[in-house]
């Protein structure tokens, strides 16, 4: 019973193991960085496809043999590719200008900086329970002593009602 694989005093259920991942080589990216990568990748792929389409139009022009219909089709392909490249350049210029000049990089679309959306910093009113108003259906209102109140009988500041300030009809 002296086997290197089986030892009678060692039980596998009692074995303690520590498992750690070395993240020095694997950086954890944020959602904004991932969106930035995807947006920039889409623009790069669109530009490469436009160039490829122009090259296909040039190849079609060379192989047309002087036939008017084929030359016109090749010319249309090249024209469409050039228009596509200009549209890409205009969109990138507008987005870059919005990011840097208008929003001063507070809001970024992924062209000159990572995608970022500013937070709204909305705080609930004092005395309100913001989690109860998120529950769909049911009666989430409570009376002043903590008991459930029937619909319409609670005029306090709990649930999703605003406090009565005396400025209007309730």
The answer to whether residue 74 is domain-embedded is yes
Residue 105: what pLDDT? 87
* Residue 77 located in a structural domain: yes
E strand or H helix at 36: helix 31-62
**Considering the domain boundaries, does residue 13 fall inside one?**
no
pTM attached to this predicted model = 0.55
Residue 5 is predicted with a pLDDT of 61
Q: What's the confidence (pLDDT) of residue 140?
A: 47
- In the prediction, which pLDDT does 23 show? 67
Q: Is residue 22 part of a domain?
A: no
Residue 150 lies in a domain: no
Residue 69 belongs to what domain range? Answer: 28-102
Q: Judge whether 64 and 71 are in contact, CB under 8 Å.
A: yes
Look at the chain and report how many structural domains it folds into: 1
**75 occurs within a structural domain:** yes
For 41-96, the DSSP string reads HHHHHHHHHHHHHHHHHHHHHHTTTT-HHHHHHHHHHHHHHHHHHHHHHHHHHHHH
Residue 129 falls inside a structural domain: no
- Give the residue ranges of the chain where pLDDT is below 50: 135, 138-158, 170
């Amino acid at each position: 019973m002296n086997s290197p694989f089986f030892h009678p005093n060692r039980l596998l259920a009692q074995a303690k193991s520590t498992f750690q991942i070395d993240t020095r080589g694997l950086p954890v990216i944020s959602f904004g960085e991932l969106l930035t990568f995807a947006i920039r990748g889409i623009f790069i792929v669109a530009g490469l496809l436009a160039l490829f389409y122009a090259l296909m139009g040039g190849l079609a022009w060379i192989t047309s043999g002087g036939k008017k219909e084929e030359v016109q089709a090749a010319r249309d392909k090249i024209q469409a590719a050039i228009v596509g490249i200009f549209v890409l350049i205009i969109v990138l210029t507008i987005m870059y200008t919005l990011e840097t000049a208008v929003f001063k990089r507070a809001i970024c679309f992924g062209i000159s900086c990572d995608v970022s959306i500013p937070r709204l910093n909305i705080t609930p009113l004092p005395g309100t329970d913001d989690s109860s108003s998120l529950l769909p259906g049911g009666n989430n209102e409570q009376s002043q002593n903590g008991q459930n109140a029937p619909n319409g009988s609670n005029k306090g500041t709990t649930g999703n009602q605003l406090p009565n300030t005396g400025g209007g009809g309730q």
